[in-house]
Structure 1
Amino acid sequence: MTFTPTKTLADQVRADFPILNQEVNGKPLIYLDNAATSQKPLLVLNRLRDYYEQYNANVHRGAHTLSAKATDAYEATRDKVAKFVNAASRQEIVYTRNASEAINLIAYSWGMSNLQPGDEIILSVMEHHSNIVPWQLVAQKTGAVLKFVELTSEETFDLEQFKTLLSEKTKLVSTVHVSNTLGCINPVQEICALAHEYGAKVLIDACQSVPHMPVDVQQIDCDWLVASGHKMCAPTGIGFLYGKFKLLESMPPFFGGGEMIAEVFLDHSTYAELPHKFEAGTPAIGEAIALGAAIDYLSSIGMDKIHAYEAELTAYLFEQLQQIPEIRIYGPKPDANGEGRAALAAFTSGEVHANDLSTLLDQEGVAIRSGHHCTQPLHRFLGLPGTARASLSFYNTREEIDVFIKALKDTLEFFGGLFG
């Protein structure tokens, strides 16, 4: 891939995303729902198709040529993931269906084995349901206690309150790296350092950070990190768990079945070495191979370049939204360069319900998200039934933001006439 300095990043990659070249309701598609799922470039689509057309076979189990080729491609992605997040070893990368499954794996494998009555788990009020519900279930079964970090006046992670929650009882801290609603970038490196002073483990939900910025698990020093492929230009049905080697080694299997065993007897079984101990059954082979293609694609652009361009878009989006009096955006404001938060804006618009807003914008070809974004506790904390959310990616343009803003103003004017 060759990049031309005089063109924006979006100009140079748009042709790689055929889905963007279509009309919705008679209008050119403006896709601003990237925090829910990203679009997929041709490299990823072709790699997935190549697997099914050319070497579809089960991995690890066959001595024939197709199986060997599938296994090589499948395991090559593991190396790519490890390099992408700077894991110390490929054995620290476990394939999962998604980040939700990865969190459940930790909750049931480590949590059920290590948590005792009275032990404390610290989460935050901004967590995705996937990082709340598994810990609720584990707490109910083990007697562990959940505690929650609240928000600062800028609607960010309250680090000072977090410090007051930490104690010798703290066994786990599990928090999002970037909030999918507030857009705040949490100080995960400092969170890890503080938690480790008390001997607590730390899990980072990196679904909204890994696709948009460089992420280094060794620098963060987290114990686990999870991400979903579908938010980083890969297919659905594939995600990954990073875990420190010794910690993963100490954890019992979560699923039982083929692939995760060394030997099976009628009365007992022995388990495979990492990472296969946690990968029971036939995996999402094509999807994993396509995840490798997505990492190749993102790496060819450069995560620093992606982050810088999305920051420019963020600055422009906020500049335009802040000119609309009815709009209230949640989370911290970006600086003049768009830094300091993610490339998304969750907002309310006066008396107009987010679902109504999203429906009318869709008639103009603009796709945004509405609702609670799987963060119901956060919306209750903020006293909101829901928000509308526009979320950007590196293939979006300023011109698309202009179309969105015009459609948003027209929609609000329409509702203003009704309410007026």
Structure 2
Amino acid sequence: MKNNYFIPFYSKYDLTFHSGKGSWLYDDNGNPYLDFISGIAVNTLGHCHPALVETIQKQSNTLINISNYFWNDTVLNLAKRLRDLSNLDQVFFCNSGTEANEAVIKIARKYGTQIAPNKNKILYMKNSFHGRTMGSLSITGQEKYQKNFRPLLENVQEVIFNDLASVREQMNDSVAAIILEPIQGESGVIPATESFIKGIQQLCNQYHALLIFDEVQCGMGRSGKLFAHQYFDVKPDLLSIAKGLGGGFPIGAVIASKRAVNCIEAGDHGSTFGGNPLACACGLTILEQLINKDLLSDVPAKSTYFITKLKRLQETYPMIEEVRGKGLLIGMQMKHSSKEIIRKCMEQKLLLAGSSNETIRILPPLTVSEEEIDLAIDRIETVLTKF
């Protein structure tokens, strides 16, 4: 059994993949699967995109890792690009979204205690997901992930997503920061409302708290904008990104306002592999494809095309309760268990992801074609007819 080699942190399907190209994965028998999981919103350009393959080959012949004691043009160029595109000020590189969120927790705590000794509370959203390390888990609003690992961080408080009154009730001078996902991914692809986001920003301004957006899943073009918070015309103090930034190569980042990080000193945090030239070269290639090659501008049209087709399915198959999302982060909420539908779609060689609230997450690469969307719709309908 393959599982005998691994600590059982994952529940795996009995599929082994050996290669991939674009929106497709190929198993050990050569069977093609339409991959609408994309490494869980990671493979921005699909599998083995020529530009990313060329970047990895070229950069690995020059520099892979040098440590953070020294400068490197690749790292500098990615930091400058992210700073300019986000309209923020400074960047920290790490290896994953969870690591980025660990960094924002520490930044928020130090920021707050520079203002007042007891200004260290962090408010987070019910049903949020920010990671599985002890810090990020402490601000993840899902008991199923937290229950076996207490005690967690102190001075964190859960509030209700899209309910400004619940945030107001907890807001006071002890709050150092509020963290939220502009689109909750793991909890069923639930977008924040504009009034909620604007209200949160006003509260943060009023109480001199940091506004933190976790865009690990919904950022890097996935929503149809480079950063999902750009739908709301607000500016965070801290922005955590990862997943799609490397297109499959591990990289995470925190982008910060000067206000948030003026208190930070050398040694407050770090990451051995964070900001290595190979990862940063991948990040530059992703941005080149999204911005310079204009891939990002295609996402809204693809989203409208896909969501329209899914809503037509909903009209025919009442087991679909709701279709929602932004860009190519799409949720199809079912009235009954989504697990069986996901499994049956896998038998049709279509890969989809699960999430909470009986919602199926649909996460194709941003390079997906209309023909591939049509094929996915056909395979989903084939499954639905059997229910």
TM-score calculated relative to the size of structure 2: 0.74
Q: Whole-Å Cα distance in 2 between the matches of residues 388 and 58 of structure 1?
A: 41
Equivalent position amino acid for 1:239 in 2 = G
1:254 is displaced (CA, Å) by 6.3
Percent of counterpart pairs with the same letter? 11
Equivalent position amino acid for 2:55 in 1 = R
1:367 is displaced (CA, Å) by 1.1
1:360 corresponds to: 344
What is the alpha-carbon root mean square deviation over aligned residues? 3.5
SS class of match (1:209)? coil
Equivalent position amino acid for 2:203 in 1 = L
Distance 1:125 1:248, change over 3 A: same
1:147 corresponds to: 158
1:49-60 equivalences under 5 Å are 49-56=57-64, 58=66
SS class of match (1:126)? coil
Q: Deviations over 1:317-341 (max 9, x none)?
A: 43233222111236xx57xxxxxx3
Distance 1:297 1:50, change over 3 A: same
Q: Whole-Å Cα distance in 2 between the matches of residues 172 and 106 of structure 1?
A: 9
Please say if residues 47 and 293 of structure 1, whose CA atoms lie closer than 8 Å, have aligned partners that are also in contact: yes
Distance 1:81 1:182, change over 3 A: same
1:216-365 equivalences under 5 Å are 220-228=234-242, 230-232=243-245, 234-252=247-265, 278-280=270-272, 283-302=275-294, 305-323=297-315, 324-329=317-322, 333=324, 341-351=326-336, 353-365=337-349
From 189, 194, 199, give the equivalent of 1:182: 189
Q: Whole-Å Cα distance in 1 between the matches of residues 308 and 58 of structure 2?
A: 39
Q: Whole-Å Cα distance in 2 between the matches of residues 132 and 189 of structure 1?
A: 29
Matched, 1:170 2:175: yes
Please say if residues 366 and 404 of structure 1, whose CA atoms lie closer than 8 Å, have aligned partners that are also in contact: yes
Please say if residues 59 and 285 of structure 1, whose CA atoms lie closer than 8 Å, have aligned partners that are also in contact: no
Q: Whole-Å Cα distance in 1 between the matches of residues 295 and 174 of structure 2?
A: 38
1:273 corresponds to: none
1:356-395 equivalences under 5 Å are 356-370=340-354, 372=355, 379=356, 384=357, 386-395=358-367
1:149 is displaced (CA, Å) by 1.5
Please say if residues 75 and 276 of structure 2, whose CA atoms lie closer than 8 Å, have aligned partners that are also in contact: no
Q: Whole-Å Cα distance in 1 between the matches of residues 152 and 343 of structure 2?
A: 42
2:376 corresponds to: 404
1:134 corresponds to: 135
Equivalent position amino acid for 2:343 in 1 = T
1:306 is displaced (CA, Å) by 3.4
Distance 1:282 1:164, change over 3 A: closer
SS class of match (2:41)? coil
Q: Deviations over 1:305-359 (max 9, x none)?
A: 13432432343243233222111236xx57xxxxxx34333334454x4333222
* More helix as a share of residues: 1
Q: Whole-Å Cα distance in 1 between the matches of residues 198 and 92 of structure 2?
A: 22
Please say if residues 178 and 209 of structure 1, whose CA atoms lie closer than 8 Å, have aligned partners that are also in contact: no
Structure 2 stretches of 5 or more lacking a match?
A: 1-19, 140-149
1:244 is displaced (CA, Å) by 1.4
Q: Whole-Å Cα distance in 2 between the matches of residues 413 and 281 of structure 1?
A: 49
Equivalent position amino acid for 2:41 in 1 = A
Q: Whole-Å Cα distance in 2 between the matches of residues 393 and 183 of structure 1?
A: 20
Please say if residues 52 and 286 of structure 1, whose CA atoms lie closer than 8 Å, have aligned partners that are also in contact: yes
Matched, 1:200 2:209: yes
Structure 1 stretches of 5 or more lacking a match?
A: 1-16, 63-67, 151-156, 257-277, 335-340, 373-378
Q: Whole-Å Cα distance in 2 between the matches of residues 57 and 120 of structure 1?
A: 36
Distance 1:50 1:56, change over 3 A: same
Distance 1:142 1:361, change over 3 A: closer
Distance 1:346 1:133, change over 3 A: farther
Matched, 1:30 2:34: yes
1:159 corresponds to: 164
Please say if residues 311 and 343 of structure 1, whose CA atoms lie closer than 8 Å, have aligned partners that are also in contact: yes
Please say if residues 112 and 119 of structure 2, whose CA atoms lie closer than 8 Å, have aligned partners that are also in contact: no
Equivalent position amino acid for 1:227 in 2 = I
1:376 corresponds to: none
Matched, 1:211 2:215: no
Equivalent position amino acid for 1:410 in 2 = T
TM-score calculated relative to the size of structure 1: 0.69
1:54 is displaced (CA, Å) by 4.0
Q: Whole-Å Cα distance in 1 between the matches of residues 167 and 377 of structure 2?
A: 37
Please say if residues 26 and 365 of structure 1, whose CA atoms lie closer than 8 Å, have aligned partners that are also in contact: no
Deviates more, 1:43-52 or 1:137-146: 137-146
Distance 1:140 1:112, change over 3 A: farther
1:240 is displaced (CA, Å) by 0.8
Q: Whole-Å Cα distance in 2 between the matches of residues 401 and 204 of structure 1?
A: 30
SS class of match (2:221)? coil
1:241 is displaced (CA, Å) by 0.3
Please say if residues 212 and 236 of structure 2, whose CA atoms lie closer than 8 Å, have aligned partners that are also in contact: yes
Please say if residues 68 and 272 of structure 2, whose CA atoms lie closer than 8 Å, have aligned partners that are also in contact: no
Q: Whole-Å Cα distance in 2 between the matches of residues 105 and 60 of structure 1?
A: 16
